[in-house]
Structure 1
Amino acid sequence: MRDALSKVLVSKDVFYTDVSTTKCVSSIRAEVSNVSAYIFLNKSISDPGFRSATYVIHAVGEDVHCPPINGNEIDLLVFRVDSKRELTDVLTCLKNCPLLKSKSKTLVVMKHIRTKTISGVFKTLWENGIFNSLITVQRDIGHVMDLYGWGAFSQSSRCGRVFTNYFHVGACANGTVLFDGDEASLQKFAETSFHSCSISVRVVDWPPFVIPETQNPPDRKNANYIGGFEVQLVKTIASYLNVELRFSVSEKDLNWGTLHENGTASGLYLALLEKSADIGISSLTFPPGYRFLDYGPIYYYEKLVWCVRSPPLMVSWKKLIIALNTIHWHFLVIIYVVASVLVWALSKRQEPGHSKKLGRCFTRTLADILGNPSALPKTTSLRVFFTFWLIFCFHTNLFYLTNLMSLLSKAVTEVEFATSDEILNSSLKLMFLSATKMYFTSDRTPNAFDKKVLGRWVDCPNLETCFAMTVQRGDSAICLPESFILYMGARYMPAPMSCLLRAEDTLVSYPVTMFMRKNLPLASKISQAAQRLSESGLLGAWRQMAFDTDSADFEQLSRPPEENSTVFSLKEFKPLFRCVIFGWVAATVAFILEHLIHQVISKYSTWKNAPPQY
């Protein structure tokens, strides 16, 4: 008797009543299962080892309440069925229950079945993600049960593509199991060589995660991908497991699709649900109905940011102002006023012949700041002040001219949108990739931010159109993943586009993982390998390599490379020449006006002082 707590899964209310069959099932179970947690059969079996709770699953295709059993604790699944159709119905009932694990061993007990049907039973099990299986079939004569096995990953089985090469393992009578060969033939469950397997990977062309070799490949069911750090990840896993990879892509561009809570799906997720693909990659995260699929470890965190049309170039005269920031200008004005007043106060009492008018002091102090110092004062106190004042003016001029030359030698743009809130509060159209909508429509109650985004949501039909609306028309802002922006910005992103990449401007941050169809036989090994590669730090190196790989799908957005140096020409000095000419004109006009006023005043004084004539 086993001391371990046993759990029961039955596919019929009543098991076999004959003692011989019951003993055989118990003996086979004891041979193939050697850990403490099991799933057994009906408690009516006259074997104390089957003492446990019972969960009855009717093989009529009905909806069933999942038993409260953790599938990871299951070592053996036992099904009692009379036909392949009945087995299919039972598995259909359990398809959404966390019981069917590909690593679990499975024993199918069948009363009577024709030999040619055995291959169909193994195929049914394989299609439901069960490959560690044995079938027991009772002979028509006597109480003998034959055992059949099938090497799912053997060379002859070709990893689930050939089911007719099943083999006879042994026979059982009255609880005694007789093997055809070594007892180890019953333990062909844990295969380690997958050289005959191939894995279908469904992707969406999305650098730097997935980078295609050619644009619009002729065979989308067998495409070739040269780069992308997720492509490198699955290729490394395939090399480790010694399996073959087959990449496929949808006929529709950017067809991620979605997976709803009720199990309905579209795009890439639909391919996984329909088992036309084994693995899905391309910056995938958890959709609302992710429980209908298996998934690997989280190996990257992505975030969505805004991109808008780059603001226009700043007019040159503004560069004269922004060479110093607002604080510097305020500080300089205060120092200028204080210095002028101080010079006036000291000159008024101590400096004979020096400027004693406040207006003239302001003029001379301004000349000092502009690099044209006035005559050296005569008193000691003013000379000490004047010396430090000239040192301050020299450093201020040097700082200003350095910043000004830097601004004049490069293109400087106006700042239109500095934060994400300014974009949300603007009149721009908000363009989004349709696959990102689930980040704002989760099962939680949408907050005010989500409602604002969804209220102005506009689906992006394709990237080329969205870029045109953002760059050429300038009436839109597009929301894109940061990794895609960083990849595209180096070579393909339209030049007049800028993106808000600061952490505080992030709209949404989400984890990236790979998804697998439910009960993929190699799911556990793929997840373990992905976890080890993620922890090794190789993903960071592969991601950097992806940024250096060209993508054929985005050549239409390419732009000529920018030169590292900026040509410095006399055009940059046009504002300065304008200022000089304006100063000369203003000075000339002032001189003429002053001369005219002086002439008028002189004539008036002469007329006034002239003696009266009688």
Structure 2
Amino acid sequence: MSQILFLLIFCQTFTSCLFELKHLPDYDRIVRQSLTECVVNAATRFFKAGETIFYSLPLCEVESTDPPSAVLDRLMLAALTQECKWSLFVKNVSFSDHSRGQVVHKPTHYIIQLRNQTEFLKNIDTLKHYNNWNPLAKFLIIAPVSENPRKLATVIMKKLWEVHVVNGVVLLPDRWDTTVFNAYTWFPYQQGNCGDDFDKVVLIDSCSFGNSTQFVNWYPDKIPKKFNQCPVKVRMVEWPPYIIGVPNGTWSNSTNNSNRGIEVNLLDLIAEIFDLRMFYYYSDAPLNWGEIYENGTATGNMKYLLDEIDDISIGCYGKTTRRAIFFQDTFYLSDSLVFCVPYSSYGLRFESMFRIMKPGAFVLTLFIYSILTSLMWLTSSNDWTCYQNLDNCMINTLCTLLGLPVSHRPKSEKVRIFMAMLMVYSFCLITAYQTLLDSALTDVSNKQRITTVKDVIDRGMDIYGVATTSRYFATDGSNPRTNKVNG
């Protein structure tokens, strides 16, 4: 029995020694433990529970000659899994990987582990070709070592901006104390910038063993409401009524002519609201709409847009499934028939009736009522009815003013004269009110109050096209020279 027990202990010891990873020096292990706790702390604070985290391993993390990276993976993944707050998708990114559709939903958070600058650039170039690539997610870039943290953070931010990522934070070790990790980020539109100044990387926080020195939001809102007159390149195809006679090489809102086409007017309005500058120009070839194919190749204006030479392409483009895979588009026309009526608010329709409700008319009525009531009360000394009492007199005259019956009629001649005067005024007032009210309710003639697209949008109205309107690119493979557009 003792021999069998000794054999089991020997086998367990031999197996653990055979498969145990090479130990790190104590200080290196402490550095990776600090990084792990800082990442878990950031994920708990800024990553929404229940969402998907795409965890990208280093390109060479599986090599046995690199135990530091493997130890970091073991610590990091165990800590993130223990929290049980997110769906963790761990991936070893490589160019030979063809299984790019395994994540059903687009990840809302990315944690990318890197060891050097070149590796990160290759990693991003691979990730952006995934079908589930989501540049709108929150990115956390981490590295356990770095010789020049700020320079590396600048390179990373520039690359993230090239792939349209804004919510990115780089967590790199401090040069003087590698157990302290500094969080760098970038604000592309601060201080009048337009996303072209990559030298202003900001150190927003520092973390050591999960404790932050500045309890701030690492992912603040970086998209402003105003864009500092930043230019936007818009390539056009002249195709009325969507683009009408816009000169080549002009800027938005550079002319008082409001009849520049539906799409140009919409972009002019967007530029005015968000403080942008749209630069409109044409291709050298006329009617150069272009096409996008299933393999990702493109021609014409589609190629300029795919290669990001242009920011926007307009000219009566329609929405199709194929282009929705490669481009982010906005569909603003519905193919349906809608009856339109002139716009007029209730305040404008009832403005004639509101004349008698102004303070002047109310003061005049109150003045006449007070005078006649006082005269009837003062002259009712010989009247045995209730008009000798001021309260009863005021109630009866108010009923008379409103056209209501009274229970006691005056007996004396003077009181009857003043009552008759009040009845005449009451008749005129009620007649004028009912006449103006009926006129306002039956009035069907409205003045034109919409002259531009801006008026339509300001009043919350929708823009529709008739059912017979055919648009370029209504279906894939359509011929732009045979399509017709009914203006």
TM-score (norm 2): 0.54
Of 193, 218, 225, which aligns to 2:225? 193
Q: Using the TM superposition, give the Cα deviation of residue 133 of structure 1 relative to its aligned residue in structure 2, in angstroms.
A: 1.0
Match of 2:140 among 76, 83, 107: 107
Report the alpha carbon displacement of residue 299 of structure 1 after superposing the two structures with TM: 2.0
Tell whether 2:181 aligns with 1:149: no
- The structural deviation recorded for 1:255 is 0.6
How much has 1:60 moved relative to structure 2?
4.6
Q: 1:34 to 1:62 in 2, by over 3 A?
A: closer
Match of 1:279 among 293, 297, 312: 312
Does the alignment pair 1:129 with 2:164?
A: yes
Query: Aligned pair in 2 of structure 1 residues 220, 213: CA closer, same or farther (>3 Å)?
Result: closer
User: How far has the Cα of 1:40 moved from its partner?
Assistant: 5.0
State the shift of 1:81 in Å.
Answer: 1.6
User: 5 Å matches for 1:428-577?
Assistant: 439=475, 441=477, 479-483=482-486, 486=487
Q: What SS does the aligned partner of 2:483 have? A: strand
Aligned to 2:23: none
Q: Partners of 1:437 and 1:298 in 2: how far apart?
A: 15
Matched residue type, 2:53:
I
- Structure index of larger Rg: 1
> Where do residues 321-400 of structure 1 align in structure 2 (5 Å cutoff)?
none
Matched, 1:26 2:40: yes
User: Which one of the candidate residues 270, 273, 298 is aligned to 1:240?
Assistant: 273
Cα distance in 2 for residues equivalent to 1:222 and 1:252: 23
Residue type matched to 2:267 in 1?
Answer: V
| SS across alignment from 2:36 | helix
Contact 2:184 2:205 in 1 (8 A): yes
When the two chains are superposed, the root-mean-square deviation of aligned CA atoms in Å is 3.3
Cα displacement string for residues 408-436 of structure 1 (whole angstroms, at most 9, x for unaligned residues):
xxxxxxxxxxxxxxxxxxxxxxxxxxx96
Matching residue within 160, 172, 195 for 2:207: 172
- The counterpart of 1:210, out of the listed 231, 243, 246, is 243
What is the rounded CA distance, in whole Å, between the counterparts of 2:49 and 2:325 in structure 1? 28
User: 1:122 Cα shift?
Assistant: 0.7
Change (3 A) 1:199 1:100: farther
Higher relative contact order (CA 8 A, sep 6+): 1
Residue 148 of structure 1: how far off its partner (Å): 0.6
> Within 2, Cα distance between the matches of 1:148 and 1:129?
18
Query: Could you say if the C-alpha distance between residues 261 and 151 of structure 1 is closer, same or farther in structure 2, counting changes exceeding 3 Å?
Result: same
Letter in 2 for 1:162: D
What amino acid maps onto 1:243 in structure 2? L
Q: Alignment partner of 1:169: what SS?
A: strand
Aligned residues of 2:51 and 2:87 also touching (Cα < 8 A): no
Query: 1:280-295 residue pairs with structure 2 within 5 A?
Result: 280-286=313-319, 288-295=322-329
Counterparts of 2:225 and 2:281, CA distance in 1: 25
Identity of matched residues, %: 20
Local SS of the residue matching 2:200: coil
Q: Which amino acid aligns with 1:285?
A: G
Secondary structure of the structure 1 residue equivalent to 2:218: helix
Checking the alignment, whether the CA contact within 8 Å between 1:146 and 1:171 is kept in structure 2 is yes
Give the 3 Å change call, closer, same or farther, for CA 66–117 of structure 1 in structure 2. Answer: same
1:39 is aligned to 53
Contact 1:123 1:163 in 2 (8 A): yes
Distance 2:477 2:202 in 1: 52
Contact 1:105/1:133 (<8 A) preserved = yes
Are 2:133 and 1:119 aligned? Answer: no
Match of 2:83 among 28, 43, 49: 49
Instruction: Name the amino acid aligned to 2:190.
Output: S
Find out whether 1:299 has 2:367 as its counterpart.
no
2:168·2:219 contact (CA, 8 Å) conserved in 1? no
Label 1:102 to 1:93 Cα distance change in 2 as closer, same or farther (>3 A): closer
- The aligned counterpart of 1:391 is none
Write the letter of the residue equivalent to 1:211: I
Pairs aligned (count)? 296
Change (3 A) 1:49 1:109: same
Q: Which moved more, 1:159-168 or 1:222-231?
A: 222-231
The residue correspondences of 1:11-90 to structure 2 (distance < 5 A) are 18-41=32-55, 44=74, 45-47=77-79, 48-49=82-83, 52-60=87-95, 62-71=97-106, 74-90=107-123
The structure richer in strand per residue is 1
Instruction: Give the Cα separation in 1 of the matches to 2:143 and 2:127.
Output: 19
